[in-house]
Amino acid sequence: MNAKKLPVIKDEDLQAAASMFTFSWLFDTLERTMDMPPLQNADGDDLVFHDVRFPLASGARQKDIAARVNTIPGMSQENAKFWNWLEDKQKSKGKKNTGLSLDTTMDSGLLVLGNVELKVRFLHLAPNSARAQTKEWP
């Protein structure tokens, strides 16, 4: 009954104040996340996504490239141009995780080390750690 009616705020005033709310949220969120341990993969390596691109030779046909990728052990084809790069076999954990762990596993229980995608002019490899990036391919 004794409620006071709040004044109507103009759209222009709300738009001018929007950045203050965004910055307040951002600074609060950053402060809380700065104390978080680093994300790690299942092997205990820091989770660092890489972007490795292998340019395709002129005249290379995608179906030939796909056929070659299918011969690489550990490649599990999802569709005509996308593969999951899986660990060789299910194994016990490597290093002990000291932080938060983020893993991707297949229904079989095998860990996903990264992904391979065939683009128009290159083959894109996206491993989830520096160690996976430097792992030798057969």
Measured on CA atoms in the order 13, 19, 25, 28, is the torsion positive or negative? negative
pLDDT for the residue numbered 68: 93
What does the alpha-carbon distance between residue 81 and residue 74 come to, in Å, rounded to a whole number?
16
Tens-digit pLDDT string for the chain (138 aa): 677 888 888 888 888 888 888 878 887 887 777 777 777 777 777 777 778 899 999 999 999 999 999 999 889 999 999 999 898 766 555 555 566 777 788 888 888 888 999 998 999 988 876 665 555 554
What does the alpha-carbon distance between residue 22 and residue 92 come to, in Å, rounded to a whole number?
44
What does the alpha-carbon distance between residue 72 and residue 103 come to, in Å, rounded to a whole number?
22
The two three-digit tokens of residue 48, written as one number = 């660092």
Residue type, 45: D
pLDDT for the residue numbered 90: 62
pLDDT for the residue numbered 61: 92
